Amino acid sequence: MTVSNRLRTALSFSGPFVIFAALWQAASAWLAPDPTMFPGLGAIAYALVRLSASPELWSNLGISLARNYLGLALAIVAGVSLGSCMARYPIANGFFSPLVGATYSLPKTALIPLLLLWLGVGSTTDTTAVFLSCLLPIVVHSYHGAKDTPRVLLWSAAALGTPDRALLPRVMLPSSLPQIVTGTRIALGFSYVVTIAAEMIASKSGIGKLIFVYGGSGAYDYLFATILVIIVVAYLVDQAYVRLTATLLRWHHWE
Amino acid sequence: MKVIRYVVRVLLYFYPLVLLAIFWEFIARSGLVRPLFLPPLSALPETAEHLYREGALLAPLAISLYRAFAGLALALLIGSVVGIAMSRSRALRWFAEPLVAVAFPAPKLAFLPVFVLWFGLGHLTKILLVAFSCVFPIIIGFYNAANAVSPVLIWSAQSMGASELNILRRVLLPACVPALFATIRINLPVALIITFTAEMIVGGKGLGDDLTYAQRMFDTPTVYVYILVMLAIGLLVDNVILWTRRRVLGWYEENEPGDRV
Amino acid sequence: MTPPKILISSLSKRYGATSREVLALEAVDLSVSEGEFVTIVGPSGCGKSTLLYILGGFLKGTGTVAIDGRAVDRPGLDRGIVFQEYALFPWLTVKDNIGYGLQTQNIARSEREDIVHRYIELIGLRGFEQRFPRELSGGMKQRVALARTLACEPEILLLDEPFGALDAQTREIMQDELLRLWRKTRKTVLMVTHDVTEAVYLSTRVCVMSQRPGRIVREFSIDLDRSASREEIVLSAAFERARNEVWILVRAQVVSGTGVATAT
């Protein structure tokens, strides 16, 4: 894409946000007699600048993201292993499938109070909550991806000398990569909700706790500024994820 | 006799759960784990009955369900209109697409303190937060469904003199009915999660609020009962949706990623 | 006396639970000697592919299935298979697909690269080594599939309607390609197809299978001068005679299932 094309796309993309910001400012000026309940753009921008300078925002953000991605990473490892084993070995499927079906409908954030009872307040609880919440979507997607492996691929691999135990890692896993990538993206979006929930319910640190405190103490401009940061981070990470996985999946024939 | 055979078959299929239940009971009773962490499974029905008798089971559940369904309904109303309109209007598409794209991956729960600020600690906050959380995937769902309608269909309707409203009603809407079930099925769990979670964080009645209260009082059996109730509701609701879909769309057979293994 | 390369005796195959069983094959007998090119033709669903899959070791039936006197019970490098759907590994490049079987045998990289290079030249796909299957046409994919199988030098080549997914022109080109490769390597080939012309053109022997449950109804020895050009062969009287004979019998099998009357 040429430079002018890129510029045009960027402008086109940001246009709606400019309009939205203008609407916000108008609403702030008109709706709220008490400006603190609906801070104007200036106040939010000012708060944003002050936050960026202080370590408070970044250290809490860092802690939250660390917990979040650790839980997610563990969920990916466990989920892909479990899901693909369930597809490959009927015994595993027979054992885990009812468990998966039974727990799928449970709102995983409901486990947070239970985890608090068991593990107390701290990073372990938060990471475990993310792990448990992200596990199931990844298991289901890995399972379906592995199960959908065309049998002629498995047969060809066997006829080309692949031992039985290697069929899962060498054929089923690569074949299910598109599904795994989709499932992980869903889990990624959901992980943030769990982290914030856990931090808001009971935590000593983290971005969720931060906005909870800001809200409770009336620092609304800081509150909105932090939320803005969260939105931007979530979007950028999602975009990075899509781009990275596109390379990973460059062989895939999209229907 | 046939009933017994059916029950046995069900038990055999769910044997891991049966095993788990037995294991739980054994571990709880053996004294290896303190009852604070793991009360015996057999103690739970008693607790449940006690809660029910006190009105601490159905009332908060009803409140939470009301909020979740109201929020979802609101999201469906707004989301379907916006999604379908987006497929027909280029201007709207230009405006909405970037906003939806950026809002989609963001954790809408982060807005909870904002909603509390604006709407208080009661029903409205939860309903609006649920609506806010569900509206974006719904917009995308209906937008895709409306787009998938063959343009040839729309053109032939137009050439027969159909007004924009008529096209909407008789071509686009029916085409979106399968999408309706898909979005409901995906978003109802989200609605429930957000409702329970918001209640857990800020209180204001509802099952989530009572759950956190029980946890703070170290009333572990109650905590387990509430969790199991939430699980049961999730399962029940999902099955009702599937049953309804089968009745309404008997011809429609698609295995979605949300389907259980 | 040495046992035939492939010996199938009284092979039967059942599918499904006892209440809704389907008998795919019934007491099939077939013997193939080394270096033969045998094709099985028959109506759709008659079980010819099933026979191939059992021989490949992917399915199990009752009866005798032996290669060089030894029973077959699992897939192996001695029996290469090419499927109609190409079955290329979509996440591997052309080069890596062809080299796949060599890698499982732990052949050293330099030797592996030599062999792969040789086959790429053989199938005429120089310059496409780094492409992914999704970037290839049907004919190219099938060539890669053939090369992948041949690179492991299996003793037996099993072909399951290999050209069924290709258009008519590409199919003819691929048939000649296959013939060329076969005459060079003299493998034992067992092919399955529903295209009678293809069967007669390529094989030394054609076996006609009945409707389901499949049995071998009759075998035809095909004796054509294959050093001649395609045009000469296809337009010769001997070819036409053989093709007609086989076609009439296959047609009878097809029709016997549908109840349509034939002229006898």
Strand, coil or helix: C210 = coil
* pLDDT at position C15 over 90: no
Residue C83 touches partner A, C-beta closer than 8 Å = yes
pLDDT of A1? 63
Residues C115 and C241 in one domain: no
Q: How near does any CA of chain A get to the CA of C244, in Å?
A: 33
Tell me if C30 is assigned to some domain: no
pLDDT of B4? 85
Q: What is the CA radius of gyration of chain A?
A: 23
Chains C and B touch (3+ CB pairs under 8 A): no
Residues C56 and C183 in one domain: yes
Please judge whether C89 and A252 are an interchain contact, meaning their C-beta atoms are less than 8 angstroms apart: no
Considering its fold, how many domains does chain C have in total?
2
Fold of A39-248: MetI-like fold (1.10.3720)
Residues C62 and C162 in one domain: yes
Q: Which of A11, A193, A210, A236 to mutate: most B Cβ within 10 Å?
A: A193
Which residue has better confidence, A250 or C16? Answer: A250
Provide the 10 A C-beta neighbour count for residue C158: 26
Residues C129 and C250 in one domain: no
Residue C247 touches partner A, C-beta closer than 8 Å = no
- Domain locations in chain A as residue ranges: 39-248
Query: The tokens of B64 are what?
Result: 């939470």
CA distance to A90, B246, C78, C161, C236, per residue, from C61 (Å)? 22, 39, 19, 21, 41
Query: The tokens of B92 are what?
Result: 């709207």
Find all residues with CB under 8 Å of C58, minimum gap 6, and list them.
Answer: A155, A158, C75
Residues C160 and C224 in one domain: yes
For B202, the closest chain A residue by CA position comes to A201
For residue C137, give its domain range: 86-153
Each residue of B183-216: pLDDT tens digit? 888 899 899 999 999 999 999 899 999 999 998 8
Residues C143 and C217 in one domain: no
- Domain locations in chain B as residue ranges: 52-248
Q: Which of A61, A91, A104 to mutate: most B Cβ within 10 Å?
A: A104
Whole-structure pTM value: 0.88
List chains touching C (3+ CB pairs under 8 A): A
Q: Which of A174, A165, A168, A166 is nearest to A251 (CA)?
A: A174
Taking every pair of C-alpha atoms in chain A, what is the biggest distance, in angstroms? 76
Residues C48 and C171 in one domain: yes
Architecture of domain B52-248: Orthogonal Bundle (1.10)
CA distance C38 to B207: 72
Tell me if C33 is assigned to some domain: no
pLDDT of A4? 85
Q: Which of C73, C89, C98, C146 to mutate: most A Cβ within 10 Å?
A: C89
Domain termination site, one of C100, C118, C153? C153
Per-residue pLDDT of chain B (261 residues; tens, 9 = 90+): 788 888 888 778 888 888 888 888 888 888 788 878 888 888 888 888 888 888 888 899 999 999 999 999 999 999 999 998 898 889 999 999 999 999 999 999 999 999 998 898 989 999 999 999 999 999 999 998 888 877 777 788 778 877 777 776 777 777 778 888 888 888 998 999 999 999 999 998 999 999 999 988 888 899 999 999 999 998 888 888 888 888 877 655 454 444 544
pLDDT of B8? 84
Residues 116-135 of C with CB under 8 A from A: 132-134
Q: Which of A14, A48, A43, A15 is nearest to A28 (CA)?
A: A43
DSSP at A110: G
Residues of chain A with pLDDT under 50: none
For B111, the closest chain A residue by CA position comes to A227
Each residue of A200-225: pLDDT tens digit? 988 888 999 999 999 888 888 899 99
Residues C57 and C93 in one domain: no
- Most confident option among A168-172, B30-34, C233-237, C260-264: A168-172
Each residue of C201-224: pLDDT tens digit? 999 999 999 888 888 888 999 888
Enclosing H/E stretch for C11: strand C6-15
